[in-house]
Structure 1
Amino acid sequence: MDSNVVVRSSSPPSHEGIRMVRTAIRLFLVLVVFGGCVLIYVMMPTNTYRQIWLPRIRAEAGSSTYFGAQGSTLLFYTFPIMFIAVMGCVYLHLGKKITDYKIESDGKTNRIAVWKQPMLVKGPLGIVSGIELTFFIMFIALLIWSISTYLTNGFKIITPQSAAKSHEKVWEAKLESASLRLGVVGNICLSLLFFPVARGSSILPLFGLTSEASIKYHIWVGNILMVLFTAHGTCYIIYWAVTDQISQMIKWEKTGISNIAGELALLSGLALWVATIPRIRRKMFELFFYTHYLYIPFMVFFIFHVGVGYAGIMLPGFFLFMVDRYLRFLQSERRARLVSARILPGESLELNFAKSPGLKYNPTSVMFINVPSISKLQWHPYTVTSNSNLEPEKISVVIKGEGSWTRKLYQVLSSPSTSARIEAAVEGPYGPDATHFLRHDNLVLVSGGSGITPFISIIRELIFMSTAFQSKLPKVTLICAFKHSSDLTMLDLILPMSTTTPYDISNLQIQIETYVTRDTQPKDNSMNLRSIWFKPLATDEPVSAILGPNHWLWLGLIITSSFMMFLILIGIVTRYYIFPIDHNSNKIFSSPLRALFNMLAICMSIAATASAAMLWNKGSNAKELKQVQHIEASPPRGSEVYNAERELESLPQQSLVQATNVHYGQRPDLKRILFECKGSSVGVLASGPKKMRHEVATICSSGLAENMHFESISFSW
């Protein structure tokens, strides 16, 4: 849970000790280790680093017969980040031991919340908070500092005399120097590129981030990276052209820089970059999705281009991403047991998967789904609507037919000739480490269309808390806008359909304001509902954590063991194969071959350790998985919420129907609704279309209501 929230429920003394340990770990990792890494990047362009620090480091670490010059890069750039990742796993594992819930916020939380308010709403960066804007400005300042310092120091040594010795003009020598420095600064971006897209990252939670919310950072860094690398390649081509060295473009050196490898890497990156243009991504998602696999040749040829020594600067982020990617691959190889599907009007689906009772996740978590019969390669993310506490044996997602893939799935399931089984695979769920929305007095959830799905998971969590803890919870106002009245059936998903845990929402204050924008009167859609139950196969498995209930400890073990195995492999190869060639003969060992050895060692290390951990956990969890192979559940009920003539039996004191107002032919007056919300702290969460999220963010950042704290839940992947 959020460490900045005061606990009102009883808390054992051991929990306070765990919190103190977690706080100490977090402060040490973020302030000391990460701060030291930032200092290194700040000092890299300076003469102090290049003329004093680097020679000493290379003298100590670079003289190793096991790692050679690569040793200094591993020591300075890779070890600190790996240490943060492993200790982050310990931090997250300790957080799972804290089971009590935190309700009220303190003054420190409110002060921090001011920095989380939107500072920019419209523009190329989207909705940006004060903290995000501050760190973005600091990152841009680092890049400007680096390139300006590199250029200043590089141009100082370029004189007419030095240029004449190379048969160059001064401006040509400066062009070459600038070209090189652009690539060096681009590598700073590359070192950060893969951290936001590691879905099971142990580093992002240390900064209060999730992989879903960090996608925009990946986009920002990726765009800057491609600008720098494109400028780097273009300037070199111009330099070779004006100095009659155009033949350099087709050279693949056995030692040093391989130009043609860099060009192949740049071409792969450019093709990937073009496909990320928003219009292409929205209209041709398949093209965007498939071209993203070009990151593989991009990284391979980049390592061939610069060599393993320099590539070690970006190694930590890529190594951790590869660990995460391989674990996702192992999970995706399983066939998830799809128990049932519910066909809703408006081309909407609810898919219900069997899950292991030991799998826990927080509200607003995301699960990636693949249906091989539609596309073997495409994976699409959807918010999990079920609650792991109320529904321990089921995990559900809602899919809205808004693209070609989702429409094909809807057509397959809604067809009367649908077979008794459909194959599916899943990755995840991935979600936040803490439930932070509990600190508010009032919770306003603003959604448009399928944007209601993350709020279903939040409301179900509040239902569980109102039943289990009998604590004071924030008052909830759900504002949802739909295009057609047929979409109103999505409100039926707010309450769990069938659970083994009884629940009571008499303590939950909730008001639902629904707006149907294109229909002026209600329409009867009850006859369009349909439920499908699928026959399982013996090979189907419930959705479960790939590394079991102690996932974070196992992940820390995988990171540690795979990295150590990588070091052992390259140490053996260097000591007994590369070192003798470099030092006992007149030959110099090929840089591309050495790079190939390193890439193979990384892949072998990660595959061996992660596979062993997965097989160990699969064996230990076999009994639990077997218990949920024969889940039987009652058929889902029909549409109830927007039909005011029916009363829900699960609400003994208040009907959800009575708490729901439907407005036809109207759009919500968001400014009026939000300004009428009372309370010292009003949490405003917006999910859905970009225009709607920007409107809510503009209202919250206007300064007219200081008690509002905005958060955007975006579906922009």
Structure 2
Amino acid sequence: MAVDEFLHSSQHPLLHSNGAHAHNTNNNNKNIIFVSLAKWVLKVTMWVVFLAWVIFLFLFPTDFGTGLYDDWVDATSGTLFGETGSVLLLYSGPIIIIAFLAVPYLLLSGEDQLQVKEKKTPKFRLWTFPVLVDGPLGVVSAAELIGIILFIVFVIWAVYSYTVVNFEILPSYGDDLTLEEKRVFMLQMSAYSFGLIGLTCLAFLFLPVARGSILLRLIDIPFEHAIRYHVWVGNLTMFLLTLHGLCYMIVWAIRGIIPSEIIEWKSDGGANFAGVICYLFGLLIWVTTLPPVRKRYFELFYYTHHLYVLFIIFFALHVGDTYFSKAAGGIFLFMLDRFLRFWQSRTNVNVISTTCYPCGTVKLVLSKPGNLQYNALSFIFLRMREISWLQWHPFSVSSSPSDGKYHISVLIKAVGDWTEKLRGKVSEESKIELPFQPHSEILASVEGPYGHESPYHLMYEKLILVAGGSGISPFLAILSDILHRTKQKKLSVPRHVLLVWAVKRSNELSLFSTNDMKSICPSFSNQLNIEIQTYVTRESEPSLEENLVHKATSSSAFSVSKGGGISVLVGTGNKLWAGSYVIISTVGFVITLGLLNICYLNPFSISYWWYRGILLLACMVISVCIFGGLMVGLWHLWGKRTSARGEGDEDGEKFNMRQHIEGVTDEDLSLGTFAHSYFVRYGCRPDFKEIFGSISDRWGHADVGVIVCGPPTLQSSVAKECRSQSLKRRSSHPIFHFNSHSFDL
């Protein structure tokens, strides 16, 4: 806000005397300094809390760490919340504290950080330098590799430390133990250790899948990227829990007590039967996530993943409130996100217009309120109830925020049952009614938009966009965004853009006609250099004349606007409301837990582990539903009130959209009229070594952002060349920064 005020004041110098103007300028400069200082303090504090938490996790398996933990519990167990509150504060507290501090930090941060500096010295960045390319983990950046190594080191270190401690306490079981009995006791203690390590990993498991998480917004990693971290941590967690259960089974088999131990439901310890049920649910989820099952039976994978609810419930019953508290922070933030998604998805969103393209792709234009913000590299989850009540599918946004204040567009290629049914429905609607005439209402449910906290494509002066097939969708949004910003004479805009697009058939070239780029900024050629290289891989020659190959023979229709716009209830939406929702819900959880201890647990001396565990989980649910629900209700009312002010503008925008589509000609949609350099090659694939080598010679000493949207093979090829070119570069050559915009569940 301070920057905006400064710019505003500088535009009206005649309204003030020279002295007053100088005074206001000084005040604004002081405000900017104060904001920078506040952000620095918040960032340092969050780093200190995070590093202290990580150090404690590494120290806990040792005698020293265990001693610190015991001293902490002894010092705080006499408080209102008892040992559960002590463990909550120690393990989950740091995550919540960082989430709290992230709210003012994000409010103080803004797009002013994304200023392209032409004279800035190119340098490598951990997040954008691919290290592993062809492995089973896909493309892994240097920063991600460091995180993977830290997790592996932690697991190895924890196993070693627990083993040393177990050997030290083994004599406490008796000095006359036989060698076989010692082995059995060691195996039993190892089983317990594996459970503790798995519990620590579980604390991280739910953080990446909270789509609108305040923590993901803080580190500017969208859900589409973070989902792979969830997969990695999930595999590690289930592996450790499998060792945990397997070691106990072996111990029980040796002692001949398997049946009795499996069905045992202890009151003063872990409820074994609840643990067995919890593991079976986790195992079913784990098996269906394996690539052969997930790719062939995606719906089975999708539906079984919802068993996480039962997994969490029986996990709380198995370990009790104290141990559940160690993973409660991540689970609570996920519950907040899931509750918000539930309410957002209840809104019926009107599909303003639909367009069918000959390549099997459908364009949907969805209504949204003017106060719902998003970036050019965002995506949404979409459900069409007439096709399926349960299935949600992610799609990249193909429109720029500057294209229209009250609508958002997506391109959907028909590649499966759900998308084929959608195309069939849209085609049927278009045939029944005359083109561009109102037709029967099509409603959708939407979650999102989600994406990066800031439009990171504006960080680079020079961009390479690599798309495969319908992966062109987010790049249409990027190009539109760049053109709008160029027209508005904004500084943070890439000046050189190369688009490399590989398609199977030439009829897919019509996708470029979804936006009339040239009309956005007719004079862009003087300020912006755009090159387009298109490769048609499965055709040896054009099926039509070259000038006509990209024409779009499409049919369009507009619906009667009876539904509403996308709900503003999204975690990546308004920062103040999203932050307040997290803070109030957390305070509500503390209040609810305190009332539970005052009114029930302490007066009646409730000590059953499993019972206290499910009560703790119930407190989390109650706080989210009641306190979080109150904030959601207020947020919803605010959204309705602010969006109602622009209803007249929204109707005008829809009319202009209709007039625009009716007036677009084939010549306007030509790729050649949009780019400085444009060609189509048939029967070949892009040679990235040649492309990147040419760019290195022409673009010189600069940071070049490379964004890829396409299949894993395309991502690997581009990442490999980025790594190769950056490592062997000369001092006068650019550094290529790899970024993936591909969503793969």
TM-score (norm 2): 0.87
Q: Which residue of 1 aligns with 2:715?
A: 693
The corresponding residue for 1:622 is 640
Conserved 8 A contact 1:370-1:424 = yes
1:578 aligns with 2:601: yes
1:18 aligns with 2:35: yes
2:86 corresponds to 1:61? no
CA contact (8 A) 2:130 2:719 kept: yes
Q: Does 1:476 align with 2:497?
A: yes
String of CA shifts for 1:75-113, please: whole Å, max 9, x gaps: 2122221111011122122224x55851126758x4352
Work out whether residues 531 and 636 of structure 1, in 8 Å CA contact, stay in contact via their aligned partners in 2: no
Name the counterpart of 1:48: 64
Contact 2:372 2:573 in 1 (8 A): no
Shift in CA distance, 399/19, structure 1 to aligned 2, threshold 3 Å: farther
Partner of 1:286: 299
- 1:529 corresponds in structure 2 to 554
Change (3 A) 1:349 1:158: same
Native 8 Å contact 1:464 1:503 kept in 2: no
Is the Cα contact below 8 Å between 1:442 and 1:679 reproduced in 2? no
Q: Is the 8 A contact 1:476 1:511 kept in 2?
A: yes
Structure 1 unmatched ranges of 5 or more? 583-587
What is the DSSP-based 3-state SS (H/G/I as helix, E as strand, rest coil) of the residue aligned with 2:377?
A: coil
Residue aligning to 2:17: none
Aligned ranges for residues 247-396 of structure 1 at < 5 Å? 247-396=260-409
Q: Structure 1 residues 75-84 or 339-348, which shifts more? A: 75-84
- Match of 2:353, SS state, is strand
Asked if structure 2 preserves the Cα contact closer than 8 Å seen for 1:359 and 1:388, the reply is: no
Q: Which amino acid aligns with 1:239?
A: V
CA distance in 2, matches of 1:214, 1:100: 23
CA displacement at 1:442 relative to structure 2: 2.3
Corresponding residue of 1:662: 680
Q: CA deviation at 1:554?
A: 2.1
CA distance in 2 between counterparts of 1:669 and 1:453 reads 22
Q: Measure, in 2, the Cα distance between the counterparts of 1:228 and 1:38.
A: 19
Matched, 1:76 2:96: no
Q: Distance in 2 between matches of 1:39 and 1:187?
A: 17
Asked if the contact 1:105–1:440 (Cα under 8 Å) also holds between the matched residues in 2, the reply is no
Q: CA deviation at 1:548?
A: 10
TM-aligned CA distance change 1:106 to 1:162, over 3 Å: farther
**What is the CA–CA distance in structure 1 between the aligned matches of 2:597 and 2:148, rounded to whole Å?**
40
Q: 1:19 to 1:354 in 2, by over 3 A?
A: farther
> Kindly tell me: are residues 339 and 701 of structure 1, through their superposed partners in 2, closer, same or farther at Cα, counting changes over 3 Å?
same
Match for residue 565 of structure 1?
588
> Match for residue 585 of structure 1?
none
Sort the Cα spacing of 1:113 and 1:609 in 2 relative to 1 into closer, same or farther, 3 A.
Answer: same
- Aligned partner of 2:462 in structure 1 is 442
Which amino acid counterpart does residue 91 of structure 1 have in structure 2? Y
Q: For residue 219 of structure 2, what is the aligned residue in structure 1?
A: 207
Q: Partner letter of residue 555 of structure 2?
A: R
CA–CA separation in structure 2 for the residues paired with 1:263 and 1:491? 54
SS of equivalent to 1:458 = helix
Q: Distance in 2 between matches of 1:251 and 1:168?
A: 25
CA distance 1:229–1:161, shift in 2 (3 Å): closer
What is the distance in 2 between the residues matched to 1:533 and 1:274? 44
Aligned CA distance change for structure 1 residues 289 and 239 (closer, same or farther; 3 Å) = same
Specify the SS of the correspondent of 2:208: helix
Counterpart in 2 of 1:91? 105
Determine whether 1:171 maps to 2:183.
yes
DSSP-derived class of the 1:476 partner: strand
1:239-269 Cα deviation digits (max 9, x unpaired): 1011112110111112210001111111001
Query: CA offset at residue 533 of structure 1?
Result: 1.2
Q: Does 1:489 align with 2:489?
A: no
SS of the aligned residue for 2:739 comes to strand
Q: 2:147 aligns with which of 124, 135, 143?
A: 135
Matched, 1:117 2:132: no
Output the CA distance in 1 between the equivalents of 2:211 and 2:270: 33
Secondary structure class of the residue paired with 2:661: coil
Q: CA deviation at 1:560?
A: 2.1
Q: State the 1:131 CA deviation.
A: 1.4
Distance 1:160 1:473, change over 3 A: closer
Asked whether the 8 Å contact 1:374–1:408 carries over to 2, the reply is: yes
2:482 — aligned with what? Answer: 462
CA 1:78/1:283 → structure 2, altered by over 3 Å: closer, same or farther?
A: same
Q: Which amino acid aligns with 1:529?
A: S
Q: CA deviation at 1:279?
A: 2.2
Separation of aligned partners in 2, 1:714 and 1:84: 29
Alignment of 1:498-513 (within 5 A): 505-506=524-525, 507-513=527-533
Equivalent position amino acid for 2:57 in 1: Y
Alpha-carbon shift at residue 433 of structure 1 (Å): 1.2
1:279 and 1:417 map into 2 onto residues whose CA distance is 41
TM-score (norm. length: structure 1): 0.90
8 Å CA contact retained: 1:542, 1:625: no
- AA at the equivalent of 1:433: E
Offset of residue 589 of structure 1: 3.3
Which residue in the other structure is 1:514 paired with?
534
SS of residue in 2 equivalent to 1:518: coil
CA distance in 1, matches of 2:303, 2:59: 39
Q: Give how far 1:657 is off.
A: 6.2
The CA deviation string for residues 657-695 of structure 1, in whole angstroms up to 9 with x for no partner, is 664322222222221011100232222222101111101
Q: Which residue of 2 aligns with 1:637?
A: 661
Change (3 A) 1:648 1:170: closer
Q: Is 2:222 the partner of 1:181? A: no
Q: Structure 1 residues 159 and 479 mapped into 2: Cα distance closer, same or farther (>3 Å)?
A: same
The whole-number CA distance in structure 1 between the counterparts of 2:199 and 2:401 is 41
Q: CA deviation at 1:16?
A: 5.5
Q: 1:163 deviation in Å? A: 7.2
Once the two structures are aligned, what percentage of the paired residues are identical? Answer: 33
- Contact 2:535–2:686 (8 Å) recurs in 1: yes
Q: Is residue 451 of structure 2 the alignment partner of residue 431 of structure 1? A: yes
Instruction: Return the letter of the residue paired with 1:490.
Output: L
Q: Quick one: structure 1 residues 45 and 350, their matched pair in 2 at CA, closer, same or farther if it must change by over 3 Å?
A: same
Q: Structure 2, unaligned stretches of length 5 or more?
A: 12-24, 434-438
**Structure 1 residue 477, shift from structure 2 partner:** 0.6
